[in-house]
Amino acid sequence: MPPSATDAPLEPPGLPPWRGLLVWLGAAALTAPLGILLHEAAHALTALAFGFENPALHFDSSGYAHSDAFWDALTGGLPEAAAAIYPVAQAGAVALAGVVLTWVLSLVAAAAAPRVGLRRFAGAFPAAFALTAAIRWLPGAIYLVSVRPRYPDARPNFDEFRVALALGVPVEGLVLAGVAVTVGCWLYLVPRMSPGRWLKVGAVAAGFAGGVALWMVVGPHLLP
C-alpha cells in the first residue's frame, strides 16, 4: 500500500533531520501560551455566563470582582459568608470550566494529530498541545503527595482544590482524572512519533518550557 499524504516527509530529501525537531520545538512553544489562554478564557466566559461582576482575562490568570473575598471565606470554613458574595455551586462551576476544557481539548488534539500527520507542523502542533496542556494537574499532585500529609489544614488555590471545596467532590478524583488524560495522550501519541520519538519528546518539553518563559515576559504587555 503506498504511503498516504499525511505520511509524507516533513522536509524534502537531503535536508538535515534537525529541521523536523525545530518544527516540534516551535509547535510546543506556541501551544504553551495557547493552553494557558484557553484554560483561563473558559473560567472568564463561564463567570460571564453566570453574571459574575467584572469577569476579566489576564495573561496567566482570570478573575472576577470579589473573587478573592469569596474564596477566602470558603477556604476559611465560612460557606455562608461565601454564598453571600456568589452562589457557591456557580463559583465551583467557574473553577471547573477551565479544567474540563483543558481535558477535552487535549483528548481532541491527541486524536486529531495523527490524522493530520505527525511529520507536519499541522500535526505536531495539536500533538504538542495534547502532550503538555493537561499537566496543570501537577500542583494538585504535589499537594496530595507532599503537602496535605504534613499540613492537613493547608488551603491551596489550584483549580481542582477549589472545585472540590465548592462542589463537594474528591480532589483526588479530579487530580487523577487530569493525570489519566495526560498519560492517555502520551500513550497514544508517543509511539506514533517515530522516527526519533524521544528526540521529539525532548523538543516538545524544551519548546513548552521556553514558550511559557517567553509568555511570562510578553504576556503582561498584551493582557495585563
pLDDT at residue 53 is higher than 80: yes
Q: Are 34 and 129 in contact (CB under 8 A)?
A: yes
What was the pLDDT predicted at 195?
Answer: 86
- Neighbouring residues of 36: CB distance < 8 A, sequence distance ≥ 6: 59, 60, 212, 215
pLDDT at residue 9 is higher than 50: no
What was the pLDDT predicted at 26?
Answer: 96
Q: Tell me what the mean pLDDT of segment 162-169 comes to.
A: 97
CA 189 to chain CA centroid, nearest Å = 17
Q: Match 499537566 to its residue by C-alpha cell.
A: 135
CA–CA dist 27, 15 (Å, integer): 19
- The residue that leads in pLDDT, 67 or 9, is 67
Range with the lowest mean pLDDT among 2-11, 14-23, 137-146? 2-11
pLDDT, tens only, 75-130:
999 999 999 999 999 999 999 999 999 999 999 999 999 999 998 899 999 999 99
* Residue 16 binned pLDDT confidence (cut-offs 50, 70, 90): low
pLDDT at residue 3 is higher than 60: no
Mean pLDDT of the chain: 92
What was the pLDDT predicted at 113?
Answer: 97
What was the pLDDT predicted at 17?
Answer: 60
What was the pLDDT predicted at 13?
Answer: 43
Q: Tell me what the mean pLDDT of segment 128-147 comes to.
A: 96
CA–CA dist 43, 62 (Å, integer): 7
Q: Are 130 and 20 in contact (CB under 8 A)?
A: no
Report how far apart the first and last C-alpha atoms of the chain are (Å, whole number): 53
**pTM for the whole thing?**
0.90
Q: How many CB atoms lie within 10 A of CB 173?
A: 11
pLDDT at residue 2 is higher than 60: no
**Per residue in 42-58, is it b (16+ CB within 10 Å) or e — as a string?**
bbbbbbeebebeebbbb
Q: Which amino acid is at 212?
A: V
